[in-house]
Amino acid sequence: AQSVAQPEDQVNVAEGNPLTVKCTYSVSGNPYLFWYVQYPNRGLQFLLKYITGDNLVKGSYGFEAEFNKSQTSFHLKKPSALVSDSALYFCAVRSTGGGNKLTFGTGTQLKVEL
């Protein structure tokens, strides 16, 4: 069984400040982790993924995420938030079984204010 937890339903941050969106996971074997962003009434857009290698992964739009195996976490970060970053963010973990099934977290609403 695998699972993902996003402990915060909403994160508020001022524009220009750093942001962090938290994600922890549980999976058998090695985890393959993904971050997606969703704007209102749209599909999900891929931001970045961790498969293996460097624990700090860089992705689209200046986002990055840090894989921490001991804490089973994969937090999404950005050094300086923009109002346009306001959206719903999903963390996902890949199944170790067939089909590349992803299990998604419940999402975190990020609100960046002026």
Binding site for another protein (CB under 8 A): 9, 32, 34, 36, 41-46, 49, 51, 90, 94, 98-102, 104-107
Rounded Cα distance between 54 and 49, Å, is: 11
Tell the smallest beta-carbon distance from residue 114 to another protein (Å).
26
112: nearest Cα among 8, 16, 9:
16
Tell the smallest beta-carbon distance from residue 8 to another protein (Å).
13
Smaller CB separation from another protein, 11 or 107: 107
Smaller CB separation from another protein, 15 or 86: 86
* DSSP code for 96: S
Smaller CB separation from another protein, 15 or 88: 88
Rounded Cα distance between 85 and 82, Å, is: 5
Rounded Cα distance between 93 and 110, Å, is: 20
